[in-house]
């Protein structure tokens, strides 16, 4: 089984994704937030790149059936129901709703994989579920990290590293690309101290400056939202919802 990691969506071409499982990672915070919402019973999440797009889509939904969600450069968006903090996506707020969401980096990364046939969302909060899914499918996998400001972001790469590390325990024959190898090594060298590893990296520091310690704490909690989230036909749902 071949595993490949891309540090930013822009470096990925469509042919890199052909016949692969594609795993999208934006651990701080978009994929963590979407996974929290799904784990708390929201019906589905529809990622959009632009704010305008979210507002236009909302016209197709009945009042009270949807929520406008997301951020721009960490800040909440005027007039939207929820920001990009996973802690806001509690069951009493999101259960049964369709979430229309745009974020600075994350939703762009998800949309990058729009044409792939098998796309999962991943964060530290569902690494085990993602590793088990890949293990069961026995298929080559590409991890696309959202990155920060279009650049390599350690938080996302090390999240791929956790999944790869788990897969290495389950699968005998893993073939790792260079960045997959580095992702695994960086995670394993941190000896489980993710905060110690990430506290000097850009995205982590930026969220701390915005007072978002609690969001970080949640986003780095392994398996806090243990769902398999599949992006298909423009919509993210849990695999149970798709199969039911």
Could you list the residues that contact its own copies (CB under 8 A)?
A: 7-8, 10-11, 148, 150-154, 157, 176-179, 181-182, 185-186, 189, 200-203
At 113 the three-state DSSP class reads coil
Closest CA to 206 of 151, 162, 164: 151
CB of 100 to its own copies, least distance (A): 31
Residue closer to its own copies (CB basis): 7 or 229:
7
Q: How far apart are the first and last CA of the chain?
A: 29
CA 86 to chain centre: 12
CB of 176 to its own copies, least distance (A): 7
CB of 1 to its own copies, least distance (A): 15
Alpha helices in 40-105 (DSSP H): 51-58, 91-94
Residue closer to its own copies (CB basis): 61 or 152:
152
CB of 19 to its own copies, least distance (A): 19
Residue closer to its own copies (CB basis): 15 or 63:
15
CB of 215 to its own copies, least distance (A): 19
Closest CA to 119 of 101, 133, 98: 133
Is-contact 156 143, C-beta < 8 A?
A: no
Alpha-carbon distance 122 to 14, whole Å? 20
Residue closer to its own copies (CB basis): 93 or 171:
171
Residue closer to its own copies (CB basis): 105 or 154:
154
């Amino acid at each position: 089984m071949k595993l490949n990691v891309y540090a930013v969506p822009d470096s990925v071409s469509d042919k890199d994704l052909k016949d692969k499982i594609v795993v999208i990672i934006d651990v701080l915070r978009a994929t963590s937030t979407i996974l929290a919402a799904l784990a708390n019973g929201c019906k589905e999440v529809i990622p959009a790149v632009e704010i305008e797009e979210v507002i236009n889509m909302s016209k197709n939904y009945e009042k009270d059936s949807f929520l406008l969600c997301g951020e721009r450069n960490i800040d909440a968006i005027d007039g939207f129901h929820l920001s990009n903090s996973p802690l806001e996506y509690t069951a009493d707020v999101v259960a049964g709703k369709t979430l229309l969401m745009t974020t600075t980096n994350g939703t762009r990364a998800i949309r990058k994989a729009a044409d792939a046939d098998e796309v999962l969302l991943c964060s530290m909060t569902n690494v085990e579920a993602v590793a088990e899914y890949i293990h069961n499918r026995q298929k080559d996998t590409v991890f696309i990290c959202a990155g920060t400001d279009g650049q390599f972001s350690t938080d996302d790469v090390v999240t791929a590293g956790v999944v790869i590390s788990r897969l290495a325990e389950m699968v005998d024959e893993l073939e790792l690309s260079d960045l997959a190898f580095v992702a695994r090594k960086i995670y394993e060298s941190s000896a489980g101290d993710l905060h110690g590893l990430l506290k000097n990296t850009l995205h982590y520091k930026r969220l701390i400056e915005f007072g978002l310690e609690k969001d970080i704490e949640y986003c780095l909690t392994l398996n806090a939202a243990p769902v398999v989230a599949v992006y298909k036909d423009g919509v993210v749902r849990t695999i149970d919802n798709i199969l039911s």
